[in-house]
Amino acid sequence: MKLEHPPEPAVRAIEGRLSAAGKRFAIVVSRFNAFITERLFQSAYDGLLRSGAKKKDVALVRVPGAFEIPSAARTLAETKKYDAIICIGCLLRGDTAHYDVIVNEVTRGIGQSAQETGVPHAFGVLTCDTLEQAIDRAGLKMGNKGFEAALAAVEMANLTRAVVGKGVVRRASFAVRKGKGKGNKPKR
């Protein structure tokens, strides 16, 4: 006798679409290692346009080095003008511990900004041992990580909107409804 198992319940997945139409993005690009970061930026920008973003809805912010990326990204996210922030940089390992310190701080800062502002941040910061690895990740053997970061930003912007809703702006640990009036109290 064959035992029948009850049907599994249908699970509705919440996913972000790959459409940038109607969304605003900021791209923060480090000038240090510009021969790599410019290739990453161009590919990220191309990814946004190919996904339906309009040129007027993409802001470019240049910072001196990767260490400054989290601060600029946080400032942009706090304006609530952008649906996602794309962080672009390139760190190459040297002979000192400086690389490890900077990598850890940049990564922590970008993640913390995303978590505390509720605005998705895409990580397009290369952390490579050699220049050859960076070149491969900026358009040769390994594709272009700038393009991948742009697609991640688009998907996360849509996912955030799907989860939170159009009329809600994320703030730290609670949401506040847009607009003025008596019915717009913080949601806990």
| 178 pLDDT more than 60 | no
Contact yes or no for 139/1 (Cβ under 8 A) = no
98 is catalytic: yes
pTM: 0.82
User: If you average pLDDT over residues 36-58, what whole number do you get?
Assistant: 98
CA atoms within 13 A on the CB side of 65: 8
Phi, psi torsion values for 85, nearest 5 degrees: -120, 135
What does the pLDDT read at residue 4?
Answer: 76
Could you say which of 54, 81, 98, 178 is catalytic?
98
Which residue in 122, 143, 117, 112 sits closest to 25, CA to CA?
A: 122
Quickly name the fold that domain 25-177 has: Rossmann fold (3.40.50)
Q: Across 88-97, 109-118, 141-150, which has the greatest mean pLDDT?
A: 109-118
Which three-class secondary structure state does DSSP give residue 146? helix
Contact yes or no for 62/31 (Cβ under 8 A) = yes
Contact yes or no for 176/76 (Cβ under 8 A) = no
Model pLDDT for residues 142-167, shown as the tens digit of each residue: 789 999 999 999 999 999 999 987 54
How do beta strands 25-30 and 84-92 pair?
parallel
Residue 11 or 59, more confident: 59
Contact yes or no for 150/51 (Cβ under 8 A) = yes
| 110 pLDDT more than 80 | yes
Token couple for 93: 């390992």
User: If you average pLDDT over residues 63-84, what whole number do you get?
Assistant: 98
